[in-house]
Structure 1
Amino acid sequence: MDTQPLAAIGIAALLLAGGVGFVLADTGGAGTAAPNDSTPATANATVSVGADATVERSPDEATVTVAAVGRGETAAAARNNVSGDADAVSDALEAEGATVTSSRFTVRPEYDYSQDGRELVGYVAVHTVAAETSDVDTVGSLVDAAVDNGADRVEGIAYSLSDDTRADARDEALTTAMDRARGGATTLATAEDRSVGDALSIQTSASGQPVVRAEYATAADAGGQTNISPGPVTVDVSVQVTYELE
């Protein structure tokens, strides 16, 4: 059987296992060595490895977004009908320990549609308030307080991680991904009777997915309490590492 050095033939392989991908490549310039050059042609061969890791953390921040809705025959009337409720909602959220981070107001015409066309029946004003808390166990209480004080609907609840918690999770995920990358590179190199040397380049990327809850309701309307159980927040990282082969 005809055999050739690794540098002369070049080897490319892909192996997916546990989120790890590999590519073996020769960067030594196959066939460029002088006839009497004693340096192995494969001295500059490398292996490039992609790996990823996911770390979960319990959320330690939450944002509650609620809205008060008012109607009137004119835009001014609709605005006046909602302004008091919006202020009361903001005050109630702050009294529960949350920080109101944004407030948005919109007003639009409301029409009655029929076969003959549309007829203006009034205006709808919506005042949306968003509030943050670092005590995620109080989210249900925030929803109840908002509804009890004039909020007509809950726009959304988003759970997330604080900067410190996210940084800690990212460090753990990066460590895991790098361990997988070197382990995968070692597996592939061993199969070619080689060993893995220093990392020549490293590229990383990271992302995190907030946990969003939109189905909670109006337990407060019936005098009950709103209970919400958030899921974990994930932090995902990917690394692309090129190692020297020895």
Structure 2
Amino acid sequence: MSVSLRLPTLLALLAMSLPVLPVTAAEAPASRQIEVQASASIDVLPDRATLNAVLVEATPLVEMGGQHDNDATTSAREKLEKRSTALIKALRKMGIDNDHLHAGNLSVYNEQQLQGDDQAAPLKERVVIERKLDIDVNDLTALPGIIDALFTNGIDRLEGIRYDVSDREGVEDKALKQALARAHQKAELMANALSVTLGDVERIQETRSPVLRPMMMATARTEQADSATYTPGTIIVDAGVLVNWSLDASPTKNTN
């Protein structure tokens, strides 16, 4: 039995039997994009601060390895508690409530000291008891007065002043918006210079997340304290972005 196939049917069968070859990169339509990287930096005036004050008491020095007087340790702790209570009362009189005043737990450790310049002399040690107080200040005009009150009430160290802003998210969003606006400005500048037209945004990526880093002032001891020197500067917030735009197929004339 013989089967005859017409030409159109034969050609269709041959086409179905041929392998499908992938489109090579050279044959694929070229991607028309422009990639722009931009950053922005803004300066912000702080509007709040946190003070880190420390009260310290210590027992008399004894030779290394010697017996510590338990009564001396108890006396030092009681003296520290009394001073802490007096300081907290003074701060409350200035209008600082419990929500803005954080008293830490007692910290107890042994401190070793070398007496004089004689390296051969035996080391002496003592028990040191500390308590830290963190004071949140939402009105920076009150800061000098609070610092004066701290030293007037006998704090041993002011470990630092941490300046910050209350609207952190708003400041970080502002830096990010400025970085995006700068990226758009750069993309339009390049497109105009090359006589092409910007299309849709294809990809957006943060290259530097906008992070506000609070500013920390240096430490100070009682004899070095001067409230007039605690003036805030500005806090810098940086942000960076990487943006890809497609380019329209039809170029435009450069009117510049």
TM-score by length of 2: 0.70
Q: Aligned in 2, Cα 1:90/1:32: closer, same or farther, shift over 3 Å?
A: farther
1:168-187 deviation digits (Å, cap 9, x = unpaired): 32232222211110121223
Structure ID, larger Rg: 2
Q: How many residues align?
A: 204
Deviation at 1:159, TM superposition (A): 0.7
Find the residue that maps to 1:173 and give its secondary structure: helix
1:143-162 deviation digits (Å, cap 9, x = unpaired): 11111122111111011011
Does residue 31 (structure 1) correspond to residue 40 (structure 2)? The answer is no
For 1:65, give the aligned amino acid.
N
Quote the residue 1:65 is aligned against.
52
Find the residue that maps to 2:182 and give its secondary structure: helix
Which of 89, 92, 95 in structure 1 is aligned with 2:87? Answer: 89
Quote the residue 1:156 is aligned against.
160
Quote the residue 2:200 is aligned against.
198
Counterparts of 2:203 and 2:32, CA distance in 1 = 14
Which structure has the higher relative contact order (CA within 8 Å, separation 6+)?
A: 2
Verify the 8 A CA contact 1:156 1:214 in the aligned structure 2.
Answer: yes
Structure 1 or 2: more strand by fraction:
1
Verify the 8 A CA contact 1:63 1:131 in the aligned structure 2.
Answer: yes
**Percent of paired sites with the same residue:** 27
TM-score by length of 1: 0.73
Counterparts of 1:76 and 1:158, CA distance in 2 = 33
User: What residue ranges of structure 2 are gaps of 5+ in the alignment?
Assistant: 1-23, 61-68, 249-256
4+ runs deviating over 4 angstroms: 215-221
Quote the residue 1:129 is aligned against.
133
Q: Mapping of 1:159-238 within 5 angstroms?
A: 159-162=163-166, 165-204=167-206, 205-214=209-218, 218=222, 226-227=227-228, 228-238=230-240
User: What residue ranges of structure 1 are gaps of 5+ in the alignment?
Assistant: 1-28, 34-40
Does residue 115 (structure 1) correspond to residue 120 (structure 2)? The answer is yes
Verify the 8 A CA contact 2:52 2:159 in the aligned structure 1.
Answer: yes
